[in-house]
Amino acid sequence: MLWKTTEYAAWGNVHKAKGQIARPERAATLERILAEAPAPAFGNRRSYGDSPLNDGGRAIDMTRMDKIIGFDPATGVVEAEAGVTLAELIRLFAAKGWIPAVVPGTGFATIGGAIANDVHGKNHHVDGSFGAHVLAITLQSAGKRVTATPERLKTLFRATLGGIGQTGVIVSAKLQMKRIPGAAMRVSERRIMSWKDHIDALEGSTATYAVSWIDAQAKGATMGRGILEEAELTDATPPGPSRAKSVPVAIGLFSNSLFARAFNEVYFRRVPEAGRTSVKRLEEFFFPLDKVHAMNRLYGKGGFHQFQCVVPPDQTEALGQMMSKIARSGLGSPLAVLKRMGPFRAGMLSFPTEGYTLAVDFPNRTRAVKLIEELEAMTAAAGGRLYLAKDSLAPGDTIKAMYPEWQAWAREAAKADPDGDLMTNMVRRLDLRTAAETTQ
C-alpha cells in the first residue's frame, strides 16, 4: 500500500495536519493496512474542526471505498461501503422511490462520517438522527472485523454512532432508507420578523422538514429575524438542475461585516412579504451550499469556525441572549441556522437532544474566538451541548460535562482500540480517551 505524505485540513481550514495518508479501494486492502499500521479514518473532511485530522501520524482516506454492496427495492434497505456519499445515495435511489431517511446540509458527507458524527437533518424532530436508520455497521480494527447492530454488540453499536471513529474503521453499513412519493420537495418560505416569532413559528410548525435562516447581523427589534423554510416530499416535477458555482480563490468576502450586512438584507428580501411556495429538486433543498464549490474559501486564507449548540426547549431565552450577543458583535457571517430538534439520540456521544440548535459561522479572528468561548460558556450554563462535528475550540472538561455517557463511550473505545491507534487531533485535544482509562 502506498502511503503518501500530505498536508490536509478540515472544512473550517483553521487546523492543518501533515501525515501519511492511504486511500484503499477494497476492504481486503483496508484490512491489511490496519493489520500493519492501524490509523484513524476520514471521509470527505466536511467536519469543520479537528476531528478528521491526525497531525504527525497516519490516516486512512475512505472516499475510494464507495461501492454499493446490495439494495432491496422492496424494503429500501441498502448496504454500502463507508465512502459512499449521501448525495450519491440520493442520485442512485431517489428515482427508485428511496432516499436516506436523514441527511445533513451537505451531500458530500460519507456514510462513515454520517455514522461517526450521528448527523442530523432538517427533519430531526420527526425522523431522529442518521443513527436511527442504521441497521448494521461493519467495523475493522487490527486483525478483527465485527458487525454491530442494535441487537448484537449493542454497546459497541451505540458507541460507534456519534463515536468520532474511535471504535474501529467503519468499512460498510446497512441502512433503512425512507420511501418517497417523488423526487422533489414542496417548499414554503416566509419571513419571520423577530427572535420570539421565530421560536413560536418553529414550535408551531407541523412540517416534516423545517429550518430557519437567521440574519445574524440584525439587532434591536429585528434581532433574530430570518426566513423559515418548511417542506414536504412531493411527486410534483421539479425544475432542472441549476448551474454549479465556484469560489476560485480564498477571497474572504464572508469575513467582511459590511458585506455580511448587505448580503443579509438582500437575502431576507428575496422572499416576498406574503411568503412563497415552490417545488425544488431534492439536492437543492437538502444541500444548498454544495452548489457553490469550495464555499469555505469565502472566509479567506485564515479559515473559519462554526459555533453550533443545542439547548433544552425551556432555554430559548438563553439562546436568544446568545443570538443577541452574536448580533451585537457584528462578527456573524451570513451562514446562520436555527432548527428545532426532537428527543431522539442514537449514540453515546450523539449531539442531538430535544430543544433548539443554533449554528453560526465566524471568520477565524481573535475577537471571534473570544466570542465563541463566551457562547460555549452560555451553552453550558443553559444545560446545552456543543457539536463535535463543528468544534475545534472547546476545552475537554466542557465537552465531557455536556456528554454524560462519555466515560462509558471511552471504555468501549478502549476495548475496540486498546493502544489508542485511532486517536485524532480532536480526541487528544479534548483528552476524551486517556481520562476514561484512569477512571475505570
Ligand X SMILES: Cc1cc2nc3c(=O)[nH]c(=O)nc-3n(C[C@H](O)[C@H](O)[C@H](O)COP(=O)(O)OP(=O)(O)OC[C@H]3O[C@@H](n4cnc5c(N)ncnc54)[C@H](O)[C@@H]3O)c2cc1C
Name the segment binding ligand X (CB under 6 A); options: 118-126, 217-225, 235-243, 406-414: 118-126
245 close to 293: Cβ distance less than 8 angstroms:
yes
Q: Least Å distance between CB 237 and ligand X?
A: 26
Instruction: Determine if 424 is a binding residue for ligand X (CB under 6 A).
Output: yes
CB-wise, 116 or 132, nearer to ligand X?
116
Name the segment binding ligand X (CB under 6 A); options: 101-109, 225-233, 323-331, 406-414: 101-109
Residues 146-205 that bind ligand X (CB under 6 A): 164-165, 169-170
CB-wise, 113 or 238, nearer to ligand X?
113
Q: Per-residue string for binding with ligand X, 43-72, x by CB under 6 A? A: xxxxx---xx---------x----------
Find the binder of ligand X among 19, 76, 100, 112 (CB under 6 A): 112
Gap between the Cα atoms of 120 and 285, Å rounded: 15
Q: Least Å distance between CB 62 and ligand X?
A: 4
Instruction: Determine if 24 is a binding residue for ligand X (CB under 6 A).
Output: no
Gap between the Cα atoms of 46 and 112, Å rounded: 12
Q: Least Å distance between CB 107 and ligand X?
A: 9
SS (H, E, C) 182-238: CCEEEEEEEEECCHHHHHHHHHHCCCCEEEEEECCCCCHHHCCCEEEEEEEEECCCC
Find the binder of ligand X among 15, 19, 107, 120 (CB under 6 A): 120
Residues 236-295 that bind ligand X (CB under 6 A): 289
Best CA proximity match to 30, nearest among 171, 173, 174? 171
Instruction: Determine if 12 is a binding residue for ligand X (CB under 6 A).
Output: no
Find the binder of ligand X among 38, 76, 100, 104 (CB under 6 A): 104
Find the binder of ligand X among 41, 180, 201, 386 (CB under 6 A): 41
CB-wise, 117 or 255, nearer to ligand X?
117
CB-wise, 13 or 255, nearer to ligand X?
13
Q: Per-residue string for binding with ligand X, 345-384, x by CB under 6 A? A: ----------------------------------------
Gap between the Cα atoms of 108 and 97, Å rounded: 21
Best CA proximity match to 92, nearest among 282, 273, 225? 282
Q: Least Å distance between CB 285 and ligand X?
A: 12
- Give, in order, the Cα–Cα distances in Å from 171 to each of 63, 69, 151, 277: 11, 11, 19, 41
Q: Least Å distance between CB 169 and ligand X?
A: 4
Q: Per-residue string for binding with ligand X, 388-417, x by CB under 6 A? A: -x----------------------------
CB-wise, 17 or 368, nearer to ligand X?
17
Under DSSP, the state recorded for 251 is -
Instruction: Determine if 106 is a binding residue for ligand X (CB under 6 A).
Output: yes
Q: Least Å distance between CB 80 and ligand X?
A: 11
At position 252, the amino acid (one-letter code) is: G
Joined together, the cell numbers standing for residue 403 give: 456528554
CB-wise, 52 or 223, nearer to ligand X?
52
Residue showing cell 442494535: 150
Instruction: Determine if 82 is a binding residue for ligand X (CB under 6 A).
Output: yes
Under DSSP, the state recorded for 239 is P
Gap between the Cα atoms of 346 and 348, Å rounded: 7
Q: Is the dihedral of CA 217, 219, 222, 224 positive or negative?
A: positive
Joined together, the cell numbers standing for residue 51 give: 476531528
183 close to 282: Cβ distance less than 8 angstroms:
yes
Q: Least Å distance between CB 73 and ligand X?
A: 26
Contacts 24+ apart (CB under 8 A), 288-295: 288/105, 289/105, 289/106, 289/335, 290/87, 290/106, 290/107, 290/108, 291/242, 291/244, 291/245, 292/244, 292/245, 292/246, 292/247, 293/244, 293/245, 293/246, 293/247, 294/246, 294/247, 294/248, 295/247
Q: Least Å distance between CB 2 and ligand X?
A: 19
Gap between the Cα atoms of 390 and 392, Å rounded: 7
Burial class (CB in 10 A: 0-12, 13-18, 19+), 28: exposed
**Residue 118 backbone dihedrals phi, psi, to 5 degrees:** 40, 65
CB-wise, 223 or 353, nearer to ligand X?
353
408 close to 345: Cβ distance less than 8 angstroms:
no
Name the segment binding ligand X (CB under 6 A); options: 107-115, 213-221, 226-234, 266-274: 107-115
Instruction: Determine if 42 is a binding residue for ligand X (CB under 6 A).
Output: yes
Name the segment binding ligand X (CB under 6 A); options: 36-44, 93-101, 243-251, 401-409: 36-44
Which residues here bind ligand X, judged by CB under 6 A? 11, 40-47, 51-52, 62, 82, 104-106, 109-110, 112-114, 116-117, 119-121, 164-165, 169-170, 289, 389, 424
